[in-house]
Amino acid sequence: MKKAVILTADQFEDMELMYPVFRLQEAGWKVDIAAPKKEAISGEGGYGQFMPDLTIDEVDPDKYDLLVIPGGSPDGAPAVVRKIKKAQEITQSFFEKNKPVASVCHGPWLLADSGVVKGRKLTSYWHDGVPESVKEAGGKWEDKEVVVDGNLVTSRWPADLPAFMREVMKITGK
């Protein structure tokens, strides 16, 4: 059974967490949600509440086949996760081993802060300084519904989720 880990925090974008969780589970994946603390987290739209399976500090990236980084508002989950050193280390580990990474909306802030986007093509939400952060980190930002660059799949926002998950499923072989 393939395993995915999702790095998030309270005030995530509901659809950007729930859609990948359900799509991966539907395909037979084991999906773990990791947050800063092992206490209930909620989506900013009020649709979903999840109890994390583990804390971000407890994640062993070698036990997972896919890393998913959802978004949220600029003051929500992405702003919290991008500052967590262990989240950056997990991200770096996935890139070092060329394992699939999928990120949407404000999630690419973590990619930029982890130093893994230099020379890579990707997209993100188009406001709130996300494209600027990607470019400052050496990434090549594109305004497209989905961008695939090797092991990396990125999208802009919830409306892009069908294209996003279609490409995630392709690169993971499911």
Taking each continuous run of H as one helix and of E as one strand, the counts in the chain are 6, 11
> Two tokens at 78?
């992405």
Rg (CA), the chain: 14
How far apart CA 119 and CA 121 sit, in angstroms, is 7
Taking a C-beta distance cutoff of 8 angstroms, is the pair 73, 45 a contact? no
The catalytically annotated residue of 106, 117, 125, 130 is 106
> Two tokens at 49?
């509440």
3-state class (DSSP) for residue 18: helix
Residues 6+ apart with CB under 8 A from 173: none
3-state class (DSSP) for residue 72: coil
Reply yes or no on whether 106 is catalytic: yes
- Angle, vertex CA 45, rays to CA 111 and CA 123, nearest 5: 25
Active site residues: 106
